[in-house]
Amino acid sequence: MGNYFKSLCLLLFSFLLVACSSSNGQNTSKHQKPNDGYVRLIVKEDTNTIDEKVPFQKGDTVMEILKENYKVKEEKGFIKAIDNYHQDEKKQVYWFFKVNDKMASKGADALQVKKGDVIYFYLDSVK
């Protein structure tokens, strides 16, 4: 009888715990919200070029889009590496990016994306 009572209490407690949970079917994660459109994200890493259409939400920056899709190392808004492709300061090779075929006028962390933007990241040397 004692084991039966303990099992019944445990079962009732489990139901109570599930019933009182605060899940309302909505996930507030940015990744779960409906997107506001797509941008084209192109990343040229050595001889490999990745070209994909990725979703974004209103207010997203170029940096946020990049970080959601790649492993990014950045410092003070400057991109140091995408995946495992690092800039090389000794050779003066750095990551650059263009938006809609124009050099970006702001840093990746300050430039908001718009529907249909084409964002192109590439390593290039400064001479």
pLDDT digits (tens, 9 = 90+) for 34-49: 788 999 999 998 889 9
9 found inside a domain: no
75 found inside a domain: yes
5 found inside a domain: no
pLDDT at 53: 97
Tell me how far apart the terminal alpha carbons of the chain are, to the nearest angstrom: 85
Q: Are strands 37-45 and 78-82 parallel, antiparallel or unpaired?
A: unpaired
Q: How far is residue 91's CA from residue 14's CA, in Å, rounded to a whole number?
A: 62
Buried b or exposed e, range 44-75, using 16+ CB within 10 angstroms? beeeeeeeeebbbeeebbbbbbbbeebebebe
80 found inside a domain: yes
CATH number for the domain spanning 117: value is 2.170.130.30
83 found inside a domain: yes
Q: How far is residue 84's CA from residue 73's CA, in Å, rounded to a whole number?
A: 9
Total domain count, the chain: 1
Q: Which domain holds residue 71?
A: 35-125
As a 3-state breakdown, the chain gives helix, strand, coil percent values, each rounded to 5, of 25, 40, 40
89 found inside a domain: yes
115 found inside a domain: yes
pLDDT tens-digit readout, 86-124 = 999 999 999 999 999 999 989 999 999 999 999 999 999
Give the confidence band of 5 by pLDDT, cuts at 50, 70, 90. low
